[in-house]
Structure 1
């Protein structure tokens, strides 16, 4: 994804070994105003933040804004970070999900859908075209779920997160997440009734 975080006059710290420091170490350096640590953290997480926002919003421009805003918030709130309280990725996803839900509730954004069809390096056989169409139907069906169900389904099946981490992100309990996923799957089964492609994991019975 081609996006840029606006540059700020940050004090760069010592050079970081490429891809060797964990998020907590980078955050500790950020709390000392280390702009280089921030750059590495942005490069590591912004694509996943964008992908999550895009699945939640199905709007490219809004997803880019949410991803950038979430990373800017990581810098502006760096002093409040408490090591060991939650993983950075969990905190970041919570910021992204909450921002997406806020945007979805705006009247002008409720029905926006400008996501291009997924590109595949495959010939346009009948089977491939059918798969693209059903995949597109799945994406649209997820977009029609209530906010919390959509977030839970997206995190569970596209980000492959466990119910415990999803509960942290959504600020709820594991049992509530289980209920959200069950109702979300029921809604998807109804929307995708008649589809011949097998989304077995996503649409499986309890």
Structure 2
């Protein structure tokens, strides 16, 4: 890719897009914006390919760091918000109760993720959603593995507390998610 090989770029995109999109979607809370962020990350990686130092980091770690920086920029440019996808899945007519319950759980999780401090949200996105190893996620964030583990533990604890509080007060969760409560 450093030599401008479009075939190499296409292969790298095919190999890394899914995991990159999962992390970006978690960080941004919007799958469409995450797709844009991924495309920008690949373009940026294409431009900066000569700067990548293979001895210092794996390409996937470096690419996630490029994407993470792009997501941070996007978050700085907008107010925090959670987009709730209101499109019904194909089988919703068959099982509306299950669809509604799943949608409420997903909305509550997205809201809880949006309320986490940025670094905790990034750690959870890279480790849990993108499936990166702790060492790779730590490298992408520029922290030690111990610091990443701490961010993950605090983030999980906060998510658990937020979600449990939402179960104890469903009317409040409904109001935050746009319901009538």
Given the two structures, how large is their TM-score scaled by the length of structure 2? 0.78
Aligned length: 165
Kindly tell me: are residues 113 and 139 of structure 1, through their superposed partners in 2, closer, same or farther at Cα, counting changes over 3 Å?
closer
- Work out which structure has the larger RCO, using CA pairs closer than 8 Å and 6 or more positions apart in sequence: 2
2:22 to 38, 43, 51: 51
* CA 125–115 in structure 1, closer or farther in 2 if over 3 Å, else same: closer
Shift of 1:70: 0.5
Q: Is the 8 A contact 2:27 2:125 kept in 1?
A: yes
Q: What residue number does 2:178 align with?
A: none
Say what the alpha-carbon RMSD is for the aligned residues: 2.3
How far did 1:157 drift?
Answer: 1.9
Give 1:112's aligned residue: 81
| Cα pair 2:19 2:129 within 8 Å, conserved | no
Higher helix content, 1 or 2? 2
TM-score, normalization by structure 1? 0.70
- The Cα of 1:119 is off from its aligned counterpart by 6.2
CA separation of 1:83 and 1:142: change in aligned 2, threshold 3 A: same
2-structure distance, mates of 1:119, 1:52: 23
Between the aligned partners of 2:17 and 2:11, the Cα distance in structure 1 is 10
Q: Which ranges of 4 or more aligned residues in structure 1 deviate by more than 4 Å?
A: 117-122
Structure 2 unaligned residues grouped into runs of 5+: 169-181
The 5 Å alignment of 1:39-188 reads 39-106=10-77, 109-117=78-86, 122=91, 123-188=94-159
Query: Where does the alignment leave 5 or more consecutive residues of structure 1 unmatched?
Result: 1-29, 197-206
